[in-house]
Amino acid sequence: MEDKPIAPAPGAQDFLEQEWAGLQGLRQTLEACFQRHGYQTVETPVLEHTDLFLRKSGGQLASQLYAFTDPGQNRLSLRPEYTASVIRAFIAHRQAAPLPLRWQYVGPVFRYQAGEALRQFTQAGVELIGAPGPRADAEVLALAAQGVRATGLEQCQLVAGQVGITLWCLGELGLSERLRHALAGQMARLREGVKGQEALMEQFREMGLVEAPGANLGEAMSQLGEREQEALIEGLLRETNDDFRGRRSREEIISRFRARLRGRDRLEVVERGLEFASRWSALSGPPTDILRRAEALLAEFGLEARALTELKELVALLDEDALGGVDLALDFGLARGLAYYTGIVFEVRHGLGPNGGPLARGGRYDGLVRALGGIDVPALGFAFGLERLRDAQEAEGLEAAPSGATPQVLVAPDSAAAYPHALRLARSLREDGAIVQVDINMRTSIANREYAKRCGIPQLIIVDKKGKAHRSEV
């Protein structure tokens, strides 16, 4: 029994000549666009310490890592995205550089995803490090729009949300830091209506973030002295488990119990926060209309409209000229899977792509540099998925832009004696920039013409034993 051929790994794919040329053409188009805006190319390792991606990225990315321990007992991961790696490189090499720093990158990333989704794909993006405020946001969003237009795509939309405003509003409504971050990352669930709210409330209860209905233990505890609190905690624990201590000391158990009580939000506060977040997440559409409706919702909940000041400034900067004709929409329910975003978040969407995913994603992550051990500087960026860009081009009927318009030639000796002359001619043509194949199979001129036609080589040069070249178009 013969061995079966080995297929590509799940979520990986081969790119043959034309497909690879199309991706390389996209890469070169985006690199040139980014470079015209002053973004210089950097490259980071495919392998990084796993902790780099766990420290600030959130649970969703952690579940998608290709992580392992190498023979040297180092916990490593294949790069699942570029931002954390680029910031690590900034901390290691460029913290003393003049800011802002503009970097671009392109290369493969790896994420485990269920089903038929790609698990190895190519990102091309930028990071703007050391620039706060709406003008920096506008530069990066406009660059994303101009990048997608440079690829020839027309049926695109730039959709922006604002995580920072959402977190501020939830904080003003009284939600704890942990709960408001958990809620801000689940905004899409709230679009399911009452069902989504109930599911999130149950999830937050299971996480120990919400007081049980009717419970008022935390408030009662706050009225007791320290010794009375300790006695009450020990009594409660003994009622549920005679051997409650396990490996922890008495002091550790009491400290953890107090922390949990302090970390639970009151039920009525969470319910009001969910009501606000549900209505906030439903605000999606043209900027002028959404900003007007957002102001009204803030007023209804007793929140100040100044929260929208910077977003209004950003929208004013992103006029049609800045976006190259790409439509802009606001969507306050937009939430990214990475936990490090602190401000503007956005996507470039396409209406015809067969896989349905955004062509690009990005946002502001002002706390990431500090979280990874660097100085406290603001930053933001985005990345395109090249495979999704190519899918969108095909959906619009666009031909792939080849990587370079280099002439291709087939040089064919008509005899063994002509072969050295054919090699000399091929070397000369290559020095002039042509892509040249030399016939090493000694085919007939008819067979060479057929070979060139099948390979898409437009020019055939037959070389005789005296070194004379006979050119013809295929």
| pLDDT tens per residue, range 29-53 | 999 999 999 999 999 999 999 999 9
Q: How many residues belong to the chain?
A: 474
Does residue 217 carry a pLDDT above 60? no
Residue predicted with more confidence, 243 or 357? 357
Q: Is 295 exposed, middle or buried (0-12, 13-18, 19+ CB in 10 A)?
A: middle
Same domain, 387 and 416: no
pLDDT at 11 over 80: yes
Tens-place pLDDT, residues 321-351:
889 889 999 999 997 666 789 999 999 999 7
pLDDT band at 245 (very low <50, low <70, confident <90, very high): very low
Please check whether residues 391 and 453 belong to one and the same domain. no
Residue 277 lies in a domain: no
Q: Are residues 418 and 367 in the same domain?
A: no
Kindly state whether residues 369 and 464 are assigned to the same domain. Answer: no
Examine the domain organization and report whether 456 and 376 are in the same domain. Answer: no
- Asked if residue 130 and residue 53 are part of one domain, the reply reads yes
Q: Which residues contact 157 (CB under 8 A, 6 or more apart)?
A: 326, 327, 328, 329, 348, 349, 350, 351
How big is the chain by its Cα radius of gyration, in Å? 30
Do 379 and 459 sit in the same domain of this protein? no
What is the tally of structural domains in the chain?
A: 2
- State whether 39 and 110 are in the same domain: yes
pLDDT reported for residue 225:
66
Q: Could you list the residue range(s) of the whole structural domain that residue 379 is in? A: 17-165+323-395
Rounded mean pLDDT, 212-219: 53
pTM (global) more than 0.85: no
Given a cut of 90, is residue 122 above it in pLDDT? yes
149 & 44 share domain: yes
Task: Write down which residue in 395, 430, 454 finishes a domain.
Answer: 395
Assess if residue 127 is contained within a domain: yes
**Do 336 and 443 reside in the same domain of the chain?**
no
Residue 223 located in a structural domain: no
Domain of 21, CATH number, reads 3.30.930.10
Q: Are 340 and 463 members of one domain?
A: no
Specify if 84 maps to a domain.
yes
Last residue of a domain, one of 373, 395, 417: 395
3-state secondary structure the chain: CCCCCCCCCCCCCCCCHHHHHHHHHHHHHHHHHHHHCCCEECCCCCEEEHHHHHCCCCHHHHCCCCEEECCCCCEEEECCCCHHHHHHHHHHHCCCCCCCEEEEEEEEEECCCCCCCCCEEEEEEEEEECCCHHHHHHHHHHHHHHHHHHCCCCCEEEEEEEHHHHHHHHHHCCCCHHHHHHHHCCHHHHHHCHHHHHHHHHHHHHCCCECCCCCCHHHHHHCCCHHHHHHHHHHHHHHHCCCCCCCCCHHHHHHHHHHHHHCCECHHHHHHHHHHHHHHHCCEECHHHHHHHHHHHHHHCCCCHHHHHHHHHHHHHCCHHHHCCCEEEEECCCCCCCCCCCCEEEEEEECCCCCCCCCEEEEECCCHHHHCCCCCCCEEEEEEEHHHHHHHHHHCCCCCCCCCCCCEEEEEECCHHHHHHHHHHHHHHHHCCCEEEECCCCCCHHHHHHHHHHHCCCEEEEECCCCCEEEEEC
Instruction: Give the distance from CA 54 to its chain's centroid.
Output: 15
Confidence band of 405 (pLDDT split at 50, 70, 90): low
Residue where one domain finishes, among candidates 395, 417, 451: 395
Q: What is the CATH number of the domain that holds 453?
A: 3.40.50.800
Residue scoring higher pLDDT (136 or 226): 136
**Residue 8 covered by a domain:** no
**Mean pLDDT across 234-249:** 53
Tokens of 394: 């095909």
